[in-house]
Chains A and B, each alone.
Chain A
Amino acid sequence: MRTRVIEATVRALMQAETRLPSWVMQRIEEAASLETNPLARSHLHFMLENVRLAEDRSLPICQDTGLPIFHVQMGRDRVLDFSLQDAIAEGVRIATSTIPLRPNTVDPITRKNSGDNTGPGMPDIILDHVDGRSLKITAYPKGAGSENMSLVGMLNPADDPYDFILKTASERAANACPPLFLGIGIGGSFDLAARLAKRALFNMPGSSPQELQLLKRLNNLGIGPMGLGGDTTVLGLKIETAFCHTASLPVAINFQCWANRSATEVIL
C-alpha cells in the first residue's frame, strides 16, 4: 500500500505539472474568445499554446513547479500501517528527480535548499476523512508568484469584505500572473480564514450569486492578463465561510495564477 501511495503521488505530480485540468483550459479558451483587448487576447492565446507545448513534450508548464501541496481524502474504513506524510514525501522526492521538478523548498531562515522539495512541514497535506475505503490524492503544486500576493486581513465587523478583496486584487493582481483564480476565506480565525481560502482553491469555481457578482466587479477593474490591461482579470473564484467571533471579520485571499494546476489519483 505504501508503494501505491508513493506511485500515485508521482503520477499526480507528473500530470499536474505538465497539463491543465480541462475545465481550466475551457475557462481560458472562453476568455480568449470574449476578450476585446488585442494584447490581452494574444497573451491568452500564448498561454494556451504554452500548455499544449508542455503537454506534447511532457515538460513543466511553468518553471516554478511549486510547493508540494496535497489534498488527501481518506476513506474511514481504510487503515494505514505507515506514515502517509512520509510516503507522499517520498513520492515528491522521486518526482523531483524524474519529472524533473525545480528544487524549491528552503529553510526559511538560512535559505538553504533541501534539493528535493521536502523538509519540515513539506509536503503540506490537507487531510479529510470521507466515507468508504478509497484514498484520493490530489496534487496542487503552488507557485510562489501567486502565493506571495496572498493576504489575510483582520477586518472590523463594520468593514465590507468585498471592498477589501477588490482593493487587494487591484494592488496585487499584476504580480500574481493574472488572469487569476481566487480562493477566498471569510470568517473563522486568523489561521482558519487562510485555510478556508486554500480549501476554496480545491473547490473552484464557485457559482453562487455573490461569487458571480464579485467576479464581475473584479473583471471590471480592467487589470487584464499579466496586469497589462484587458477584460480578463479573474477566471474563477470561490468563497468558503466559517463562523467567527462577534468582534472579528477575518478575510483571506489566496491568489492562484492562470496555470491552475491540479491532478487526482485514486487508490481503491
Chain B
Amino acid sequence: MTEFHLRTPLSSADVQELNAGDVVFLSGMIFSARDKAHALMREKGAPISLEGAAIYHCGPLIRGNAVLSAGPTTSGRMARYTEEILARGVRAIIGKGGLPGAPFLNRAVYLAYPGGCGAAAALQLRVMGVHCQELGMAESIWEFEALEFGPMIVAVDSYGKDLFQDVRRSAEKQMTK
C-alpha cells in the first residue's frame, strides 16, 4: 500500500504505477458526471476534453460557486457507459461501490472515495466551470479544481485486480461455511 499524490491530466505512466490497495490524492481538474451527463455524452459527445481526464461520479450540492457537499455517488448506475468513456481517453473514474474491472485493463483505474463524506470532499474542490446546467444541479457536468482530493483507494487497477470483487467473493465463501 503506497501513497501517491498525482495531478491531472493523468499519463499512462501514472496509471501503470498504481496498484490495487494504493492510496491516491489527486490535484488538478476533475469533472463530475452521473446518469444524465453520461447519457448526454453518448448522444452528443463530451463538452470537455477527456484525454487523461478523471471523471467523478458525483452529484454535488452547490450554492452559487461554493461547493457545500460533494461526496461520491454509486458508480454501478453508470456501468453501462464505462467502455465508451474510457475509450475517449479517461484514465481514472472516481466513485463508490466499484465497477466491473474488465474495461479498465491496460488503460485506467477506478478510485474509491469514502462514501457519505460530502462535507470533507467539498473542502478539497473548487468550482471552475459548469456544463449542461439544464440537467439540474446534481446531473450537471461540474469542472472542479481538486486540491489533494482524497484519500482514494485504487479499487480496480489496470492489471485486472479488483478489490470489490475480491471482497464479494470472500463474503460468498464465508456464507456457505
Contacts and interface: CB of A to CB of B under 8 A. Distances in A.
Given A46-B151, A228-B163, A63 B168 contact: no
Interface string A245-268: 000000000000111000000000
Interface string B26-70: 000000000010000000000000000000001111010000111
Contacts of A227: 97-98, 164, 167-168
A244 B124 CA distance: 51
Given A42-B151, A167-B175, A257-B115, A102 B167 contact: no
Contacts of B138: 63, 102-104
Interface in A141-192: 143-145, 148, 166-167, 170-171, 174-175, 177
B8 interface: no
Contacts of B116: 47, 50, 61-62, 143, 177, 257-259
B89 interface: no
A177 B112 CA distance: 11
B114 A100 contact: no
B101 to A, nearest CB: 14
A72 B114 CA distance: 32
B61 A221 contact: no
A177 B116 CA distance: 7
A113 interface: yes
Contacts of B175: 166-167, 170, 221
Given A39-B1, A54-B119, A103-B136, A46 B114 contact: yes
A62 B71 contact: yes
A101 interface: yes
Nearest to A149: B74
Nearest to B123: A53
A206 interface: no
Contacts of A75: none
Q: How large is the interface on A (under 10, 10 to 19, 20 to 34, 35 or more residues)?
A: 35 or more
A57 B67 CA distance: 12
B120 A49 contact: yes
Contact of A100 (B58, B61, B136): B61
B171 interface: yes
Contacts of B112: 226, 228
A60 B119 contact: yes
A102 B153 contact: no
Nearest to B167: A229
Q: Which of B98, B117, B155 has the most CB of A within 10 A?
A: B117
Interface in B119-161: 119-123, 136-138, 151, 153, 155
15 contacts: A50-B119, A60-B61, A61-B118, A62-B118, A63-B69, A63-B122, A64-B71, A111-B36, A144-B74, A145-B96, A170-B168, A174-B97, A175-B96, A177-B116, A226-B115
Closest 6 CB pairs of A and B: A54-B119, A177-B115, A175-B97, A63-B69, A63-B118, A50-B117
